[in-house]
A = this chain, B = another copy of it.
Amino acid sequence: MATHDTNMRLKFPILAIALEILIIILYALFVVYDDGSPEHGHSSSSNHTEQNNVSLYPMFQDVHVMIFIGFGFLMTFLKRYSFSSVGFNLLLAGFGLQWGLLMQGIWHGVPIKVNISRMINADFSTATVLISFGAVLGKTSPVQLLIMTILEITTFAINEYVVVDIFEARDVGASMTIHAFGAYFGLSAARMLYRPGLRNGHEKEGSVYHSDVFAMIGTVFLWMFWPSFNSAIADPGKAQLTAITNTYFSLAACVLTAYAISSLVDHRGKLDMVHIQNATLAGGVAVGTCADMNIEPFGAMIIGSLAGIISTLGFKFLSPILASTLGIQDTCGVHNLHGMPGILGGVAGIVAVALGKANGSASYQLAALGSSLGFAVVGGAITGFLMRLPLWGQPPDQNCFDDAIYWEVPEEEEENEECLAHDHSKNKAEA
């Protein structure tokens, strides 16, 4: 296979090493263990004792699994991009958590004290990047993706400060600050990286049977551990239990509607793996802002049901329009899984606060949603513009969705070699 001259020969390793050296210097200067003494300023973890921080560890690990297995395998659905999906996911999240802990901590004064809460938040910050990665999957080089990681996590930390510390808005499961933010950041970047040459698709932009099964590993781990995602930073006790319960029910309800609509919109009634892999998760996204509010189990189910419907309809009808009319080529359909359900979550939060289901201000909730969308669209556009600079080695259209440009890829399946060999030998015999 003819391989394009990418940025992998020197730029990628030099950038990766340089970033790690930078990180080590910054950590040597600014990051210490949490010794349990009070921190300067506001900190969501200041009311945890050291023991409590260890008690959060199982929740941290659930979130960790979502980030590394969940997002990583969810994107393995492409027939020849599974190495990049799970591999770059590991790279970006491994770098992103180091960067995110710095960016999020810096607002609360130095030295930054590391504890389990901070590690959960660092994992959260990488989630925004992994969502955006889904929008540009298959069309961006590792160098471009590392640049996106730096810029997106920095922007995320600013927006999070605005939403949490200035507006004091509620968003325990981060429908707005992670999901809507990550989706529209990625879509905005994808718009800047529009490829007319892929208007009519690409032969490798599709799945094979077993790549779809790999993707279900990601789906199911995300689905199972989403209650941990939405409750990990909730106040201990009743609020945390409420967040677990609401997310559990929202996801369960979402499954039913996602399956129903997936079948309903196909003219033969067949289910579509793309919908099942993604839209079954929309309930977790959409209940995020309200997760720790007293919306009652049936309220969570209504939110989850709507999310499953909106998300599946988005995959079927909206994504093709976004691509053809707006030039937004959204590989994984993050608009349907994170974008619209994230906005639904933000709106549900406004309604719930307005109805008195929780303390808070409906107008500040609205401001938080606006801030998240604004930072996402502007930040994503600037980031996408910078990613377009030719020196980052963006792959040409014909090498998109193909691991072979970045990875040593093993020879084809043995059986098939035999098959071809058989064929070839016969060709010779006939010649």
Contacts and interface: CB of A to CB of B under 8 A. Distances in A.
A297 B271 CA distance: 48
A366 interface: no
A428 interface: no
A208 interface: yes
Interface of A is mostly: helix
Nearest to A263: B13
B256 A17 contact: yes
Contact of A68 (B64, B224, B273): B224
Copies of the chain in the assembly: 3
A223 B90 contact: yes
Interface in A205-259: 206-214, 216-217, 220-221, 223-225, 228, 236-238, 240-242, 244-245, 248-249, 251-253, 255-257, 259
A90 B277 CA distance: 11
Interface string A272-298: 110010001000000000000010111
A45 interface: no
A86 B213 contact: yes
Nearest to A49: B237
Contacts of A260: 12-14, 16-17, 20
A413 B90 contact: no
A-side interface size class? 35 or more
A413 B33 contact: no
Interface stretch (A1-9, A158-166, A188-196, A367-375): A1-9
A114 interface: yes
Given A3-B268, A209-B409, A423-B419, A224 B259 contact: no
A24 interface: yes
A7 B269 CA distance: 8
A33 B300 CA distance: 12
A65 B237 contact: no
Interface stretch (A77-85, A129-137, A352-360): A77-85
A81 to B, nearest CB: 11
B244 A413 contact: no
A157 B51 CA distance: 32
A44 interface: no
Given A31-B298, A248-B119, A220 B90 contact: yes
Contact of A241 (B50, B206, B251, B412): B50
B422 A422 contact: no
A91 interface: yes
A301 B296 CA distance: 45
Nearest to A112: B297
Nearest to A17: B260
A264 interface: yes
Given A213-B214, A270-B407, A419-B419, 5 more contacts: A10-B264, A32-B297, A69-B221, A76-B213, A416-B416
